Amino acid sequence: MKLLCITGGSQGLGAALVDVYQGLGWHVCEFSRSGSSSGHIGVDLAAGDAASVADQAFSQLASQPWEEVLLINNAGMLSPLAPVSAISDEAITFNLNVNFNSAIRIIAAFIRHFGDTAVPKTLVQISSGAALRGYGSWSLYCASKAGLEHFIRALAAEQSLARYPVTCVNFDPGVMDTEMQAEIRSRSTAEFPDVGRYIARKQQGLLRQPQDVAAALVKRLAASPQGGERYSVEDVL
């Protein structure tokens, strides 16, 4: 059997990916606060023990004879969506714990436990256009996405020298019709000056469905991705 481990699989793209891979017969281990799938493991990615929960799960899973192993780091949050001057230290810490610190620690735990497993292994970091372009009031989200993209590139270079390397890639899912998009559209122009453009995208029917993006990612991963590369849904759909 093949194994998928995924963070943030309770809604949006994450939930769509859980459905797709379970439908393909994979064993799915999903990490989030509120997931409901059969492989759900409850974890608060803002908490200090989030990585230890994943570490324990990986330790148990790595002892089993998988045909293939895939980690999709999908969890992320946009809030606080505000100018830097209006963001408290506590909110900064909370956001970076979810978007950056826990992500790196979970990836590191995955590498430690599955690194010596001699089967095909892939790590996908779900990225964003915010990794390449700065948006006002999105400073923390932009910084985390950019940092993780570069982390994946560095990890890919490191893994290229490993005996049983993990193929590490970034994937930009584009703009989807998710709760995060609804959150963006609910903000005032004072909170997010570019909100009008996102409202117009929804009105014009330009948002992809998470199920379509999930199918595109599955297709892209089936086509032998190269470690260190940045792929986009635009390359597939």
If you classify domain 2-174+209-235 with CATH, what class do you get? alpha beta
Decide: pTM greater than 0.85.
yes
More confident residue, 230 or 47: 230
Nearest to 27 by CA among 6, 56, 4, 10: 4
pLDDT over 90 at 194, yes or no: no
- pLDDT for 72 equals 98
pLDDT digits (tens, 9 = 90+) for 110-120: 999 999 999 99
Nearest to 46 by CA among 3, 86, 105, 122: 105
CA 193 to chain centre: 26
Residue with tokens 């199918």: 215
